[in-house]
Chain A
């Protein structure tokens, strides 16, 4: 829906600032539990409330999480980093300063691999990297609930650890922004750092957008776009802002450097009021907190926790399992699902495609239909190979296999157990099959004539009744052979 050819004359340059909440049990600088959807002001203590005398103490798990993030994205991890106070007044900020990192962020540089849309959904698109400027750690603010005459402050969210990821101005279209956020989210979820649920505010995005004539080296005037708080909001907002700026330039107007808010319902951006001193944050080192020194042993421990990134896994799946793009693009983004697949395929690499098909088609369909997650699922990964084997060796037909699968999904039994218990083994008893075939041929003289006249497909007319008579257990290959022999003998 969005393309980079809105106008051939102009190109957009986009950099992002993404905030991701880290899923720790307690907050960034105090041990009050983190949480979402709790009654207001229940996840607070003197530190979160900014009471007189309260002091912050770092959460080790949040530091682990940001270093892990940095390692995933090939950042340089600073040997020493420190905490700074960002001073500004706002009712959602209990101390009226935010503890953040200014000139010594913990992660610098780095890059995120993204995939752009291909010519169609079934074809892999081009890959490229978006460069990261920095990643730092900071604390989240509380939430304001606005009413007609006043606002209400809930500080449950305040102090939740956040990573702020700042990209280089490396993107040019809303699609690239979308691809970046998708790749970022997959990695953070895979590493267990965050669920990145935008609806719950676990991932939030601001975009710096400028537009310039194609070929111009210097950047155009940048506009900061805020409130891009859903995936569609990001796409629509960035797309709208690019169009707005191009249209303005085409009308001969100049772009004003400003902050704009995207209205997700009206699908337009409007300027926000900015104060003259808005960006004088008076950063200085937080005297209440000590610096962090990262040594090799700590880095090594975390390096062991770096998950395989989605695109690396996808390349491995092509290579190792010979899976097609369409299958990998379902399996790979979901770490739990691809882990499940790899457990299923363990020792059965030669059946990887068939196994993957069962997972991507049948398993996901059943899970969706029953509202379950993979974790709830009773079926065991190792049981899928058994099902494929039973089908390939002719013990059951593909039709019966579906029935067996449904039963396996419900009971957690192996394929062999289901086949045995329900007596679903294919009938290869020739005498019995011949009897059903003869009856089917006798019942359809017109089809006999058609077949004799050279219409190959007419043979299918006999197969249905045979399958029906056998209650699906007739071996389709044998039935086909017997029918052809009998028809030839007529």
Chain B
């Protein structure tokens, strides 16, 4: 019974809560128990407060009893990546630097989730400051892929994907700067959406690369992701980059839009380096769409091969500046070694940051430094323009693009830790969407022979999340990959 609750979708739980078949406290307790049993192996969380969650669940049940239920998410437990500020809760970004930091304020996303009545269940592990693709860069512990505990769950929102796959959460929130929601969703066999840049407020999202970061939901099915997106999306006057466009009912639109669509296959996404099993699964999904009457055509995104290089310049440059605030003065780790204020910076930052963060700060500092700005940063910004233009041209021909989410299934822990460049190339199919600002969703589309999940990515036009979700949902309706669970 309790495991069944843990693997239910938000949509099912919401209906059962409304019918009075189950209470929020029961759901929350089931998740707490499930987590206690599998978390020692999965290690998806950085922090859990069962009492606090149960208190919120109790309050939701009381609202419902009083006839004051707030909507489809009232009483639903949601687990959030440890990168979004939630007043009174730890905000560590899986970094020593913020190990003891407790946020005094709410991010807009958390504020909206609270308003929707959700139960906040724990804080999810991640690559430190969202820098990584494997969640091995957490300062606290790596997270395991529930489908194979020796393997990585993807990253940086590895905790968000793994907790969901392991039944420790029913839906989660992650953040996606270069694929950090979609890639772990693909590797853990769940659905993950990166909305259009500006669709969801970044206020209270700890910045990695401000012009690329976007908060995104992960769920067991497309409908769950659509409902969560509806709860967190919308213009926010506290985020200057949030865009003032209407928020449709994503879930309803995703159900109503039926196609057939014109779908593009970017040829650059099916070249060398694509794992044969991943290729086969994605091509099978493409066949499905063709059978549904969709027009499938090959398109070209000629600057794809420059995306990773562009990304690692833009993202690290922004990160080097965004992470300057962690200096041990107002909050965060403070070194005991310091003899003066300048010294304090050097040692606090050296002790507080992990290797990957230091590496990216060094790279970002270098590409902005005197004499190198034009050669690296300015050039990357120009290539970024061209990458966006590639997508604009493709979207003149097609409604959306179908691609693999990750070139490979989950790799073994430790396999790429000594080769940052190889690790960076794991994001090759997801990074361009961040550079262009467009929405993308990853859905399960099969498994490898050894039982590892494979993800299909649907990329759409700016602010066409409904279209992207509708296309994904059409596939999901006739496939059951997303209903499978790992043995733990």
Residues on A lying within 8 angstroms of B by beta carbon are 45-46, 49-58, 85, 87, 89, 91, 94-97, 151, 153, 155, 279-280, 282-284, 287-290
Contact = CB atoms under 8 A, between A and B. Distances in A.
Contacts of A282: 320-321, 365, 368-370, 373
Contacts of B341: 91, 151
Contacts of B104: 46, 51
Interface string B218-247: 000000000000000000011111000000
Nearest to B237: A57
Interface stretch (B58-66, B282-290, B327-335): B327-335
A211 B13 CA distance: 79
Given A52-B206, A288-B240, A89 B345 contact: yes
A55 B203 CA distance: 6
A287 B211 contact: yes
A284 B370 CA distance: 11
B365 A290 contact: no
Given A280-B369, A282-B368, A289 B329 contact: no
**Which among A49, A89, A94, A153 has the highest number of chain B CB atoms within 10 Å?**
A89
Contacts of B330: 49-51, 94, 153, 155
Nearest to B207: A53
Nearest to A50: B325
A58 B377 contact: no
Contacts of A97: 321, 324
11 contacts: A46-B105, A53-B85, A53-B204, A58-B240, A91-B341, A95-B325, A96-B324, A155-B330, A284-B373, A284-B377, A289-B240
B103 to A, nearest CB: 8
Nearest to B317: A284
Given A282-B369, A288-B210, A52 B98 contact: yes
**Which among A56, A57, A290 has the highest number of chain B CB atoms within 10 Å?**
A57
Given A53-B204, A55-B240, A89 B211 contact: no
Contacts of B456: none
Nearest to B331: A51
Given A55-B239, A284-B377, 4 more contacts: A49-B331, A53-B204, A54-B203, A91-B341
**Which among A85, A287, A290 has the highest number of chain B CB atoms within 10 Å?**
A287
Contact of B325 (A55, A94, A155): A94
Given A280-B369, A288-B210, A290-B241, A52 B325 contact: yes
Contacts of A289: 240
B477 to A, nearest CB: 37
B465 interface: no
B314 to A, nearest CB: 9
B205 interface: yes
B318 A287 contact: yes
A87 B321 contact: yes
A247 B167 CA distance: 80
Nearest to A96: B324
Nearest to A88: B324
B368 A284 contact: yes
Contact of A53 (B206, B320, B368): B206
Contacts of A96: 324-325, 327
B202 interface: yes
Contacts of B210: 287-288
Contacts of B240: 55-58, 288-290
Contacts of B204: 46, 53-54
B107 interface: yes
Contacts of A153: 329-330
A247 B98 CA distance: 54
A379 to B, nearest CB: 47
A50 B91 CA distance: 14
A138 to B, nearest CB: 15
B107 A95 contact: no
Given A51-B105, A89-B345, A95 B324 contact: yes
B101 interface: yes
B484 to A, nearest CB: 36
A211 to B, nearest CB: 28
Contacts of A45: 105
Contacts of B449: none
A387 B207 CA distance: 69
Interface in B180-231: 202-207, 209-211
Interface string B152-180: 00000000000000000000000000000
Nearest to B239: A55
B368 A52 contact: no
Contacts of B239: 55, 57
B342 interface: yes
B101 A52 contact: yes
A91 B329 contact: yes
A52 B91 contact: yes
A278 to B, nearest CB: 11
A201 to B, nearest CB: 21
Given A46-B105, A96-B325, A282-B368, A288 B241 contact: yes
Interface in B102-135: 103-105, 107
A155 B331 CA distance: 14
A89 B238 contact: no
B356 to A, nearest CB: 18
B84 interface: yes
Given A57-B238, A96-B327, A151-B341, A52 B85 contact: yes
Nearest to B105: A46
B93 interface: yes
A346 to B, nearest CB: 45
Nearest to A281: B370
Nearest to A47: B238
Interface string B86-103: 000001010000100101
**Which among A52, A53, A288 has the highest number of chain B CB atoms within 10 Å?**
A52
A284 B377 CA distance: 9
Contacts of B105: 45-46, 51, 54
B139 to A, nearest CB: 15
**Which among B202, B205, B207, B321 has the highest number of chain A CB atoms within 10 Å?**
B321
B102 to A, nearest CB: 11
A94 B328 CA distance: 11
A387 to B, nearest CB: 55
A358 to B, nearest CB: 53
Nearest to A89: B345
A285 to B, nearest CB: 8
B107 A53 contact: yes
A460 to B, nearest CB: 76
B238 A55 contact: yes
Contacts of B320: 87, 282
Contacts of A46: 85, 104-105, 204
Contacts of A55: 202-203, 238-241
Contacts of B345: 89
B318 A87 contact: no
Contacts of B211: 287
A131 to B, nearest CB: 28
A53 B241 contact: no
Contacts of B365: 282
B317 A87 contact: no
A53 B318 CA distance: 14
Contacts of B373: 282-284
A422 to B, nearest CB: 62
Interface in B274-324: 317-318, 320-321, 324
B203 A53 contact: yes
A287 B241 contact: yes
Nearest to B97: A52
Contacts of A290: 240-241
B85 A85 contact: no
Nearest to A290: B240
Contacts of B107: 53
Nearest to A285: B381
Contacts of B209: 287
Nearest to A45: B105
B329 A87 contact: no
